[in-house]
Amino acid sequence: MHDDRELVEARLKRVLDERIRPAVHPASVPLDVAVWHAPGEPVPVAEGLAAGTSPIRVGDAWGAPWGTSWFTVTGTVPADWAGRTVEAVLDLGFDENMPGFQCEGLVYRPDGSPVKGLNPRNQWVRVGAPVEGGEEVRLHIEAAANPVILDYHPFLPTQLGDKETAGSEPQYRLARMDLAIFDETVWQLVIDLEVLGELMAELPADGARRWELLRAVERALDAIDLQDVNGTAAAARAELAGVLAAPAVPSAHRISAVGHAHIDSAWLWPLRETVRKVARTASNMTALLEEEPEFVFAMSQAQQWAWIKEHRPEVWARVVKAVAEGRFVPTGGMWVESDTNMPGSEAMARQFVHGKRFFLDEFGVENEEVWLPDTFGFAAGLPQIIKAAGSKWLLTQKISWSQVNTFPHHTFLWEGLDGTRIFTHFPPVDTYNCSMKGSEIAHAARNFRDKGVARHSLAPTGWGDGGGGTTREMVAKAARMRDLEGSATVTWETPAQFFAKAEAEYPAPPVWVGELYLELHRATLTSQAKTKQGNRRSESLLREAELWAATAAVRTGFDYPHERLDRLWKTVLLHQFHDILPGSSIAWVHREAEKTYAAVAAELNEIIDGAQRALAGNPGSGELVFNAAPHARDGVPAGGAAPVAAPAPAAALRTRAEGGYILADDLLRVEIDSRGLVVSAYDLRAERETVAPGQAANLLQIHPDFPNMWDAWDVDQFYRNTVTDLVDADEVTPGEAPGSVRVVRSFSASRVTQVLTVAAGRLDIRTEVDWHETEKFLKLAFPLDVHADRYASESQYGHVFRATHTNTSWEAAKFEACNHKFLHVAEPGWGVALVTDSTYGHDVTRTVRASDSGTTTTLRVSLLRAPRFPDPETDQGVHRFRHALVPGATIGDAVREGWFVNLPERRVPGDAEVAPLVTVDDDAVVVTAVKLADDGSGDVVVRFHESRGGRARARVSPGFAATGVVVTDLLERPLAGATAPEPAPADGAVTVSLRPFELVTLRFSR
Ligand SMILES: [Zn+2]
């Protein structure tokens, strides 16, 4: 037989595009359209419905960037359409390639009840099926003129990302506002042909099934009268029925489709727009659930549910009903889909506490699956936190974005830093926006790396990023692939149903140990420094507020601010969303975040101040030092307060013979040369030099930084090829404070001022940068005379080791990584810590010196970048950082110093020494939270972990009359299977043994 395959395939494409799809709506009449452009920010629905309107025609421009326009469309169903299915087709001026990244609408009835959302791929509103003819139609559209930031010219700087700079040029033209007949048979034919045509393209050309499909398609096309598609569509469908009925082969891959709309809580739109995006998507999905009995939709991020509840009660009512039916499913059990690299230990835990509690309180639903499809890498502390929250499964697909190495598994056990293992699935479909295309389904089946031992994978299905969700077309395609020869099978299921099956069929999956590092988006550890500092500062203040408020509540009856802390935690958790904390949002988001963090800090400081004053006694007599750190400091116990001691003498400052200055205390002697660089940091106890010979620490280095794509997200490896050392100083002088040296440097339009001090064997460096660079990367370097294969960096409830070398592509790809409060590198018996109050990105490299064959290990922290997309002014202005170099530090010292630099002491007038509410007698055991129980019972909750990677046995003593103690999960519920510790009769203290990095939560009743 002659090979006419390509001829038939080309025929299918043209006939579908030009004849069959247009025949879905074979007749239409225009609607009358009127509009009211709301003058500023979005208005309540009632106000939008009641506003006066002026006429507007199809083809007219509308929509200043970020503006809202309320359209009213009216019309009458033609009498001769009686008996037909009729829809309004409402095209606001969509570009169908960018669902979620452009204008969107929510359709309301005149009574204000929402109907459904309008998106580029979802422009219809059902009017009647069938209609009688003569019906009056009146609909209102709340249309958001969100400008396109990304797609037309990807990664070019734009002023559209903030309403303050976006101007008023209309962004869209009204494209179609019609009433139209909907021909269900033609629509079904379109789906038949799409499914078969797409499947056909994935099948081997030498296989019989492909040719069976080809011949069936050809017969269907022959059966269509191109002048009467509507009249012949049924005959065409009849030609396809046979091939659509052929069942899947027994070994077919099995896909659990989960209806989904990935909605970034802020990204190329501000937070307030996400509130509306969520309402549009939820309206769409509840409407689709009513039409499609097999469809299941899962929505993550409790915050987004809370927005619906607060802002769109009518949508909420529909959601609540669908949840009760088990088809609109809460998933993830987190407050938002957060970043997981940067959130601190407690914040990462609270993402689960607040997320799970919301779903439990509202619906009695507890998620056991964690849903993080789009997060930029996963810290090794996460498995333990997931387990401690009472969850057991994790889903992400983001690691498929890695540039260099292909992850070896799709279903596996992920082992975290403490040894906890979590059953994890990476959907092999490699997208969280599956649209049920044949190519996606076939890719999932082919790509699945656990074939032969497992058969199930999950496909999050629906338009996402900017929302929209699943469409009726996707549901119809899935129905045809339920059991179809040549295809993977597709079944709508909840995430939990998928995980239960996947786990049951795969009892011994492979294990991956350590972080799930994303080999991409590495610059998200640095971009938008103020957002990152706001996060770190907020985390520290929340710790202090809980600690001092709990202490004051127990000791003085202080009114513990449950509601305020709950609200403030949720605000901070929201800002850990995976495009806010990573610094990848538009200017508007980061401008607002800076203000929000300032308000959070003000409120937390007020709580802290109130609690400390309640504890401090008579303000007229003396001054107390409060120590919120988990270790005693200068005689003040951890979590306690004591009278101010005589200040330690400032380090001695001497001039240096060769120029510059020497700062020294009893433990450390630091030489700062005439360039303001640290050429020596001599550990006087160990009699050992820290800085590599011939090199200088505290060296600012600047690199060009223009990645190939994703400017705010990415730094590409080639940035290192070019570097400028900032060695010229404007001034190197004694600082204002005794025992300090001040260094000032200027470069291009920027200026850096540093103040260096030495105290308690530690070199403190305060850096202020007035930053006016473009596409540059600023690093602060410490070349150390240390020979080590690996270094430690702090993560949640512990630390991880990474290689200092680049033996394999996996190690080489980690050229920028995340730390929390410290980095540590060591030879046996001697190490160095570098601690920070606010930076996360860093790199560590090594060289071997020709002079003495010694190894130089260079620790560099990342201070600032200056990408121009999506925020063209990223990081411009003044920034302040604090770092400290601690020669001779053990890992325990690194942990302690990291806390100290993040939790400065507070001085409060008063004379009443404050004993800690809870005391832990082992410095390896770090308390991360002391608080009152969230249920308002007055119980005291304390959470701690082993921090050094060893074993610990700690005595935990309540500083109050405890009547009982239980071990709990993160949600403060008694932990199933845990043995209650036995309190000592004398003081109620309990002794707890901990595994390396183990985290424990105790709840003391009073
Ligand atoms: Zn996302």
pLDDT digits (tens, 9 = 90+) for 56-68: 999 999 999 999 9
**What pLDDT score does 398 carry?**
92
Residue 151 neighbours by CB under 8 Å, 6+ apart: 95, 97, 98, 101
For residue 434, how far is its CA from the centre of ligand 1 (angstroms)?
14
Residues of the chain with pLDDT > 70, as a percent, come to 100
Q: For residue 398, give the DSSP letter.
A: G
| Residue 621 predicted with pLDDT over 90 | no
DSSP-assigned letters across all residues of 643-655: EPPPPPPPPEEEE
Count the Cβ atoms, other than its own, within 10 Å of residue 743: 26
Which helix (H) or strand (E) segment is 592 a member of?
helix 587-616
Report the number of secondary-structure helices (H) and strands (E) in the chain.
18, 52
Give the pairing of strands 297-299 and 328-330.
parallel
Q: What percent of the chain has pLDDT over 90?
A: 96
- Around Cβ 361, how many Cβ atoms within 10 Å? 10
DSSP symbol at 80: G
Instruction: Give yes or no for residue 322 having a pLDDT over 80.
Output: yes
CB of 237 closer than 8 Å to CB of 441: no
Whether residue 183 contacts residue 424, with contact meaning beta carbons closer than 8 Å, is answered with: no
Can you tell me the mean pLDDT for 523-548? 98
AA identity, residue 661 = Y
Range 510-517 average pLDDT: 98
* Cα 623 to middle of ligand 1, angstroms: 49
Question: What pLDDT band is residue 491 in, cutting at 50, 70 and 90?
Answer: very high
Distance 898 CA to ligand 1 centre (A): 31
Is the per-residue pLDDT at 835 higher than 80? yes
Q: Which two tokens stand for residue 714?
A: 């990415």
Work out whether the CA dihedral 674, 676, 677, 680 comes out positive or negative: positive
- The continuous run of DSSP H or E covering 210 comes out as helix 208-223
- Gap from CA of 263 to ligand 1 centroid (Å): 7
Kindly state the average pLDDT of the residues 186-205: 98
Q: Per-residue pLDDT tens for 374-394?
A: 999 999 999 999 999 999 999
Confidence grade of residue 737 (pLDDT, cut at 50, 70, 90): very high
Q: Helix H segments across 757-808?
A: none
Distance, in Å, from the CA atom of 983 to the CA atom of 991, rounded to the nearest integer, reads: 8
721 pLDDT higher than 90? yes
pLDDT band at 670 (very low <50, low <70, confident <90, very high): very high
- For the stretch 898-950, pLDDT in tens is 999 999 999 999 999 999 999 999 999 999 999 999 999 999 999 999 999 99
Which residues are the active-site residues? 374
| pLDDT band at residue 457 using 50, 70 and 90 as cut-offs | very high
* Amino acid 646: pLDDT: 83
Spacing, Cα 427 to ligand 1 middle (Å):
16
| Other CB atoms within 10 Å distance of the CB of residue 712 | 27
- The rounded Å distance from CA 174 to ligand 1 centre is 29
- Judged against a pLDDT cut of 80, whether residue 151 lies above it is answered with no
pLDDT tens profile 84-107? 999 999 999 999 878 889 999 999
854 pLDDT band, cuts 50/70/90, is: very high
Question: Across the chain, what does the average pLDDT equal?
Answer: 97
Q: Which of 1006, 834, 824, 1000 is nearest to 927 (CA)?
A: 1000
**What is the Cα–Cα distance from 275 to 345, expressed in whole angstroms?**
28
Report how far ligand 1's centroid is from the alpha carbon of 261 (Å): 10
Among 832, 884, 834, 839, CA closest to 862: 839
Can you tell me which residue has the tokens 């915050």? Answer: 303
* Residue 753 CB contacts under 8 Å (≥ 6 apart), including other chains: 742, 743, 744, 767, 768
Strand partners, 691: 784
> At 1, is the pLDDT very low, low, confident or very high (cuts 50, 70, 90)?
confident
Q: How far is the CA of 542 from the centre of ligand 1 (A)?
A: 26
Q: Tell me how far apart the alpha carbons of residues 513 and 461 are, in angstroms, rounded to a whole number.
A: 29
Going from the Cα of 691 to the center of ligand 1, the distance in angstroms, rounded, reads 42
Average pLDDT value for residue range 609-623 = 94
* pLDDT score of 96: 81
Average pLDDT over residues 386-411: 96
| pLDDT for res 125 | 97
For the chain, helix, strand, coil in percent to 5 are 30, 30, 40
Average pLDDT over residues 405-417: 98
| pLDDT surpassing 80 at residue 152 | no
Q: Quick one: pLDDT band at residue 50, thresholds 50, 70, 90?
A: very high
Would the pLDDT of 962 be above 80?
Answer: yes
Report cis status (omega within 30 of 0) of the bond before 734.
no
Residue 519 has pLDDT above 80, yes or no: yes
462 pLDDT more than 80: yes
Look at residue 620 in the predicted model and tell me its pLDDT. Answer: 87
The H or E element containing residue 640 is: strand 640-643
Closest among 266, 154, 902, 162 to 581, alpha carbons compared: 266
Region of 483 on the Ramachandran plot (φ > 0 left; ψ -120 to 50 alpha; else beta) = beta
Residue 649 binned pLDDT confidence (cut-offs 50, 70, 90): confident
- Alpha helical stretches, state H, 506-558: 529-556
Beta-strand (E) ranges in 697-840?
Answer: 699-704, 724-725, 731-734, 740-747, 750-759, 762-771, 776-784, 790-795, 798-803, 817-818, 822-827, 830-836
The full DSSP string for 757-769 is EEETTEEEEEEEE
Rg (CA), the chain: 31
For residue 338, how far is its CA from the centre of ligand 1 (angstroms)?
A: 9
| Contact in structure between 139 and 107 (CB atoms under 8 Å) | yes
Strand, coil or helix: what is 576?
A: coil
With left for phi above 0 and alpha for psi between -120 and 50, is residue 597 left, alpha or beta? alpha
pLDDT band at 466 (very low <50, low <70, confident <90, very high): confident
- Pair 37, 62: CB distance under 8 Å: yes
User: How many whole angstroms separate alpha carbon 141 and alpha carbon 502?
Assistant: 43
Strand partners, 125: 88
pLDDT computed for residue 986 by the predictor: 87
**Cα separation of 526 and 536, whole Å?**
13
Higher-pLDDT residue of 618 and 10 is: 10
Neighbour count for residue 178 (Cβ, 10 Å): 18
- Say if CB 892 and CB 831 are below 8 A apart: no
Cα–Cα distance for residue pair 566/491, rounded to 1 Å: 39
What pLDDT, on the 0 to 100 scale, is given for residue 485? 98
Q: How far is the CA of 467 from the centre of ligand 1 (A)?
A: 10
* The token pair that represents 603 in the structure block: 């409120």
